[in-house]
Amino acid sequence: MLALGGNWTFYWQQLLEPAEALASRSRAININGTGGWQAKQKADSYNAIGFGTYHLTVILQDQADNLAVRMPQIESAYKLYIDSELVASGGTVSDDESVARPGYNAQMVRIPQGKKTFTITIQVSNYHSSWGGLWSSPILGDAEAIHQLKRDKIALSMFILGALLITSTFSLIQFFLRPSDKTPLSFCLFVSHSFYQRIYS
């Protein structure tokens, strides 16, 4: 698997179709595909609120089958194109704040079989978050490996949630056995808060 973190072509305040992005490279800048567009990159920095288009050409050394791209969870709205085909989206992308809606869904998209060269175009708009753009890199790799990565993350999250639940229950029992000592109750509330955050993160 490969994190597509660097050398994206970026068009600020433009929502371009893939063909338009290819034709407009002279007006673009290079930007990292991680950290959002607010990070200062090559003396350019943008406000969190706005919209833009990321574009990347991928050239494989050998023809690869069963490839996929995993889009990370993005608080902003996005549209993902492979070559000229819209293959995934989250929320409603728009240059009009009244129309745009944020989306939070991470997705895995398969690359058509037999390709050695293809483009990835991502339109992003953000009017709802204090950090705009791609927070973390899209992942390119074998579809089964990406599925396994997702399963491993779910298993780790379940383990952590189980540990937090057991710790919270144990602290609550200690408080009921010794009501005069408020430390177990405070610890239980702290752990419960962590449990809540983990579920909704």
What is the tens place of the pLDDT at every residue in 119-160? Answer: 999 999 999 888 888 888 899 999 888 777 777 777 877 888
Sheet bearing 67-71, strands edge to edge: 2-3, 139-142, 67-71, 107-110
Query: At a CB cut-off of 8 Å and minimum separation 6, what does 50 contact?
Result: 12, 13, 37, 125, 126, 132
Q: d(Cα 138, Cα 34) in Å, to the nearest integer?
A: 8
- Quick count: other Cβ atoms within 10 Å of Cβ 17? 15
What is the CB-side half-sphere exposure of residue 128 using CA atoms within 13 A?
20
Q: What angle do CA 111, 113, 117 make, to 5 degrees?
A: 70
Q: d(Cα 132, Cα 122) in Å, to the nearest integer?
A: 13
Reading the block at residue 53, the tokens are 């288009």
Q: What is the pLDDT of residue 201?
A: 53
For residue range 182-199, list pLDDT tens digits in order.
Answer: 888 888 788 777 666 655
What is the CB-side half-sphere exposure of residue 151 using CA atoms within 13 A?
6
For residue range 55-114, list pLDDT tens digits in order.
Answer: 999 998 887 788 999 988 777 899 999 999 999 999 999 999 999 998 877 788 999 888
